[in-house]
């Protein structure tokens, strides 16, 4: 992350048991099913934070438009090629005797050895045109953000906890911080899902924001029982988060 950048919460989920190296976790693990593209369409698993929420129809339409701008055949070939490169790199780690367990070599590769890139470069690699939106188009910014979301879903990268941001703030955070972060370049279809949690963007007021927008009723009750001030519940209705791509439920 660049100096002065807004800290963004990122978590990875993969298909193997969690493995610790030294004093730090190599990967955060959760079993997930996979299909191609695992998140490139609206209507998949929404996760607990979106259960029962009404998807924002404007964002549903923007994401449907964005998906129509992408070439699934070309993207599938692109991801197959990248998965082949990844497999060869993992084979090399196994051959070098880095670890006797191929799964451990896979996790080490993905966490520490895969080439560095940015989410912006990943989006552009799919042929996405992110030219500044036309000010005359009332939904220009939303469509530009939707293109990013749809393209990153092909990489199995998903957004959560965006509802507290208005559309302009979401666009600003995405293009000034999220897309600039250095990340490991993993292909879609590698059974590794990354979650970009925007509730954690910016440290100031994080706890209050989480309790207000995203904590469950039980978590809010626990906080109150501990003597913590609990802000009023806030909801975006209809919900942007409920419209965003999600991996399918196992």
pLDDT for 82: 97
- What is the mean predicted confidence (pLDDT) over 78-91? 96
Output the 3-class SS for the chain.
CCCCCCCCEEEEECCCCCCEECCEECCCCCCCCCCCCCCCCCCCCCCHHHCCCCECHHHHHHHHHHHHCCCHHHHHHHHHHHHHHHHHHHHHHHHCCCCCCHHHHHHHHHHHHCCEEEHHHHHHCCCCCCCCCCCCCCCHHHHHHHHHHHHHHHCCEEEECCCCCCHHHHHHHHHHCHHHCEEECCCCCCCCEEEEEHHHCCCCCHHHHHHHHHCCHHHHHHHHHCCCCCCCCCCCCCECHHHCCCCCCC
In this structure, the chain runs to a length of 250
pLDDT at residue 191 in the model? 85
Q: What is the pLDDT of residue 136?
A: 74
- For the chain, the C-alpha Rg in angstroms (whole number) is 19
Position 162 scores a pLDDT of 96
- Whole-number pLDDT of residue 71: 97
Mean pLDDT across the chain: 82
| pLDDT, tens digit (0-9, with 9 covering 90-100), for 135-169 | 777 788 999 999 999 999 999 999 999 999 999 99
pLDDT tens for 4-63 read 345 566 665 544 333 333 333 333 323 222 323 333 333 333 344 566 789 999 999 999
Q: Report if pTM > 0.75.
A: yes
Q: Which residue would you say has higher pLDDT here, 15 or 101?
A: 101
Give the whole-number percent of the chain exceeding pLDDT 70.
Answer: 78
Distance CA 78, CA 154 (A): 10
Across residues 110-134, what is the average pLDDT? 93
Give the per-residue pLDDT at 145: 96
pLDDT for the residue numbered 202: 64
Residue 242 has a pLDDT of 95
């Amino acid at each position: 992350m660049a100096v002065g950048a807004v800290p963004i919460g990122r978590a990875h989920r993969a298909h193997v048991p969690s493995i610790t190296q030294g004093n730090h976790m190599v990967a955060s693990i959760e079993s997930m099913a996979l299909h191609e593209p695992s998140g490139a369409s609206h209507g998949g698993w929404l996760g607990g934070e979106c259960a029962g929420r009404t998807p924002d129809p404007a964002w549903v339409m923007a994401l449907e438009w964005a998906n129509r701008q992408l070439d699934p055949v070309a993207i599938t070939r692109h991801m197959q090629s990248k998965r082949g490169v990844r497999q060869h790199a993992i084979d090399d780690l196994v051959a070098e005797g880095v670890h006797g367990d191929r799964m451990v070599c896979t996790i080490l590769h993905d966490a520490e050895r895969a080439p560095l890139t940015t989410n912006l470069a990943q989006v552009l690699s799919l042929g996405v045109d992110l030219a500044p939106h036309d000010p005359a188009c009332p939904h220009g910014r939303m469509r530009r953000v939707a293109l990013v979301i749809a393209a990153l879903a092909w990489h199995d990268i998903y957004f959560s906890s965006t509802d507290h941001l208005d559309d302009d703030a979401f666009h600003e955070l995405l293009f000034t911080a999220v897309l600039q972060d250095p990340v490991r370049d993993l292909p879609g279809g590698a059974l590794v899902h990354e979650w970009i949690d925007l509730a954690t963007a910016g440290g100031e007021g994080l706890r209050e924001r989480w309790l207000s927008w995203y904590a469950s009723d039980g978590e809010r009750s626990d906080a109150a029982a501990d003597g913590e001030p609990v802000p009023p519940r806030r909801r975006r209705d209809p919900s942007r988060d409920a419209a965003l791509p999600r991996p399918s439920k196992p």
